[in-house]
Amino acid sequence: MTIDSVIEFVKNFVDILLVWLVLYYILKNLRKNVKMALLFKGIFIVVVLKLLSDFLDLVTISFIMDYVIEWGFLAIIIIFQPEIRNVLEQLGRSQLLGRHKVLTVDEREKVVYEIVNAVDYMKKMRIGALIVIERDNSLQDYIERSKKIYADITSDLLISIFFPNNPLHDGGVIIQGDKITSAGAVFPTSDSLKISKRLGTRHRAALGISEEMDCISLIVSEETGRISIAMGGELYYNLTLDEFKLMILEELRPKKDYIEDDDEEANDEENIQSN
């Protein structure tokens, strides 16, 4: 093997590796962006229909699919320009090494304890609140446009931020790790038809940011005191306090915990079978 062949092999390997990395991060962010995921499902259906029409020799549907494919991508770029831009922005905001801070078990429980205490009080007093917890995707763009705080999470601080007549109570709070990073944040509102028209801007903002980013949005309704969570473009409405707490704890678990739990379950099953 000559030096030239080794260099050529390394170049090809790096080329393929970069392509796979790009595909990986695109697919990873598509999974977290509900609108773009639906768009790609539509593209997949069109491609399948085209292949079936060619295979079964269906002239009319094949003719229609040819025009859809020929002009569809131009239409997609024009119609879904905001969603495409959001995916590209998410690629730039993604943190290669995961969330900005992986909490220990004690830190995670303390964060959830303070949040739940604050939410319980605001639920009883009918104080509206929107709390967004950052995960893998950075929320730096929204932090830059809000009021910086960077303080330890305490229930008293969260309650005081959302207390009526506080200048910051209408916006959202952003939490990174075990810190309240900013308050008064403004998030994009969802135009999803699945959300009830009875729900207001706070719920739509929580759902909207969850459609675009991998985050956990916590909502306390000012009108009813009901508490909800928005994640991945889904709204879990009117939760009990216990459901609320358990869901946050589960979603804040580091990914390696899931792997270790799966390994432990597999080992337990092997031990049972061997016995």
Q: CATH number for the domain including 233?
A: 3.40.1700.10
156 and 248 part of one domain: yes
- Domain, as residue range, for 53: 3-93
Of 33, 60, 93, which residue is a domain's last? 93
Same domain, 24 and 71: yes
Q: Note whether 87 and 134 are same-domain residues.
A: no
Q: Is residue 265 assigned to a domain?
A: no
Evaluate whether residue 269 is within a structural domain: no
Both 38 and 140 in one domain: the answer is no
Domain assignment of residue 263, yes or no: no
Q: Do both 251 and 119 map to the same domain? A: yes
Under the banding of pLDDT at 50, 70 and 90, the label for residue 259 is very low
Q: Are residues 125 and 181 in the same domain?
A: yes
Same structural domain for residues 18 and 135? no
Is the pLDDT at 268 greater than 80? The verdict is no
Lowest average pLDDT, out of 74-78, 123-127, 265-269, goes to: 265-269
Residue 256 has pLDDT above 60, yes or no: no
* 78 inside domain: yes
> In the chain, what percentage of residues exceed pLDDT 90?
39
Q: Is residue 260's pLDDT more than 60?
A: no
Specify if 267 maps to a domain.
Answer: no
> Are residues 139 and 240 both part of a single domain?
yes
pLDDT tens-digit map of 94-121: 544 444 567 788 889 999 999 999 999 9
Q: What per-residue confidence (pLDDT) applies to 46?
A: 82
- Within this chain, do residues 14 and 120 fall inside the same structural domain, yes or no? no
**pLDDT number for residue 57:** 82
Which of 19-33, 133-147, 258-272 is the most confident on average? 133-147
Q: Got the DSSP string for the chain?
A: --HHHHHHHHHHHHHHHHHHHHHHHHHHHHHH-HHHHHHHHHHHHHHHHHHHHHHHT-HHHHHHHHHHHHHHHHHHHHHTHHHHHHHHHHHHHB-TTSSS-PPPHHHHHHHHHHHHHHHHHHHHHT--EEEEEE-SB--HHHHHTSEEEEEE--HHHHHHHHSTT-TTTTSEEEEETTEEEEEEE--PPP--TTS-TTS-HHHHHHHHHHHHSSEEEEEE-TTT--EEEEETTEEEEEE-HHHHHHHHHHHTS-HHHHHHHHHHHHHHHHHHHH-
167 in a structural domain: yes
- Tell me, what's the pLDDT at 84? 65
Does the pTM surpass 0.85? The reply is no
Average pLDDT over residues 260-265: 53
Residue 63: what pLDDT? Answer: 82
**In this structure, are 71 and 112 located in the same domain?**
no
Per residue in 66-88, pLDDT tens? 877 777 777 777 766 666 666 66
Instruction: Enter the tokens of residue 177.
Output: 């790790």
Q: What is the pLDDT of residue 6?
A: 79
Burial class (CB in 10 A: 0-12, 13-18, 19+), 200: middle
Same domain for 162 and 190?
Answer: yes
Higher model confidence: residue 32 or residue 231?
Answer: 231
- Count structural domains, the chain: 2
Whether residues 116 and 246 share a domain: the answer is yes
In a domain, 73, yes or no: yes
Give me the long-range contacts of 167-170 (CB less than 8 A, separation at least 24): 169/127, 169/128
Domain assignment present for 110: yes
Mean pLDDT: which of 36-45, 61-70, 114-123 is highest? 114-123
Q: Is the pLDDT of residue 163 over 80?
A: yes
